[in-house]
Amino acid sequence: MTIKWEEEVEKRLLDYMSHSSTTGNEAKFAEVVAKDLEDNGWTVQKQFIPDTDRFNVYATFRNSDPKYVKVLLNTHLDTVPPYFPPTQDDKNIYGNGSNDAKGQLAAMVTAATIISNTDEDVARALGLLFVVGEELDHVGMIEANKLGILPDYLLVGEPTELKFGTIQKGALKVKLTVTGQAGHSGYPDSGTSAIHKMVEVLNDVLKFEWPSDKTYGSTTLNVGKIAGGQALNAWAAQCDADIFFRVVTSVKNIEELLNKVVDGRAEVTLLSSNDPVILDVPPIEAETDQVSFNTDIAYFDAKDKVKAKYLFGGGSIKNAHSKNEFIPKDELHKCTSTLVKLVHNLYSHH
C-alpha cells in the first residue's frame, strides 16, 4: 500500500461528511455512497424502507452472488443530529459522523476498493451492507434481514479505538414506580412521600454489586430520569425513575436481581431490552476491549449462524454524538489497513 490510498480514504471521508444524513434523512447521502461503489466496480442493490425514500445499500463485486458472501462488512449511513460540516487539521478530521460512523464507512469502501484492485477473487467473496436508522430504531438492519444474507463472517464498524470488541453489552431499560399518599407536608402523619420511598429504593439499587466479569466487564447502570410530586408543600403521591442497565450476563438475570433489590417497594415495568452479544477474537493480532454501546449486531437475524462476528473501528465513541466528534487520521488509515488484512486472512485461512 502507498500514500495514495491514505489520501483516498481521507478525501472520501471528507466528501461523505459534506452530505447531511441525520436519521430519517439518509436518502441523498445513500445515493452518494451507491454511486461511489458503482464507480469502483461494485454492483449495488438499493433496498428501500417501505413507504419512505430511505434505502439500505448492499454491494457485491461484479458477478458475485448477492445472496452469499464470505465476509460481510456493515455499518450505518445515519448520524445523530445536528448536522455540521467537516473540518480538518494535520492530525484529525472533525465533524458530524467523523467516527460514528462515516469514518467506518469510508474505511470500508476504501478497503473494498483496495481489495478489488489487487485480488478480484477475494473481492467477490466480500459484501458491503450500509443501513439506515441505526441511531434510532435499527429499522435498516431489521429490513436488511429480508435480503437473506448469510455470511461466514460479519464485521460491524463502530468507533472502538482500533480494538476488537469482546462483548456488546446488553441493554435493559426499566421504569420504577412508587406510590405514596398525598397530604400536607407540614404534618408527617397526614401522608407518605413516594419520593422519599424512591430515594431509599434507588440507594439500594446503586449500592448493589451487579454482575462483573474479567473478560466482558461490569454491569453498569444509569438512573436517567426521575419524576414525581405535585407540590413543594405536599407529600408526593407518585414517583417514577427510569433506569438503563448495560448488561454482561443476561436481561433475565438482571431483572431477577433487580426485583430482589426492590423487594416489592416499587412496581417494575420493562421498557425495552436486548441481551448481550458475545463477540469473537480476530485471527489477526489486535487489542480487545468491552463495548458498552448498542449496535445493529443484535438486530441481525443471522448473528448466531455466522462462524464469527467482530466489532471494530477507528475513533472513540466517547466523543461521538457531540460537537467535538473527530477521528484521528492515523486511526482512519490503520482501520482501513486492518480491514484489508482481516478480509484476506478470513478468505485465505478460514
Beta bridge partners of 48: 55
Q: At which of 274, 307, 333 does a domain end? A: 274
What CATH number has the domain bearing residue 255? Answer: 3.30.70.360
In the chain, which residue ranges form alpha helices assigned H by DSSP?
A: 3-17, 27-39, 102-118, 120-124, 139-144, 194-207, 251-262, 329-349
Whose cell is 469502483? That residue is 40
In a shared domain, residues 82 and 135: yes
Query: 196 falls in which pLDDT band (50, 70, 90)?
Result: very high
Query: Is 220 in the same domain as 255?
Result: yes
Q: State which of 274, 298, 327 marks the end of a domain.
A: 274
3-state secondary structure at position 260: helix
34 and 163 both lie in a single domain: yes
- Give the pLDDT of residue 66: 72
In terms of Cα–Cα distance, which of 293, 295, 332, 320 is closest to 74? 295
Q: Which residues are catalytic?
A: 134
Q: What per-residue confidence (pLDDT) applies to 349?
A: 82
Q: What is the CATH number of the domain that holds 46?
A: 3.40.630.10
44 and 152 both lie in a single domain = yes
Structure pTM?
A: 0.90
- Structural domain count of the chain: 2
In the three-class reduction of DSSP (H, G, I as helix; E, B as strand; rest coil), residue 46 is classed as strand
Which one of 259, 274, 289 terminates a domain? Answer: 274
Rounded CA-CA distance 270/78 in Å is 28
pLDDT at 277: 95
Closest CA to 196 of 228, 221, 233: 228
Do 141 and 19 fall within a single domain?
yes
CB 75 within 8 A of CB 311: no
Q: Residue 212 pLDDT more than 60?
A: yes
Give the separation between CA 119 and CA 44, rounded to whole angstroms.
19
| Shared-domain flag, residues 297 and 211 | no
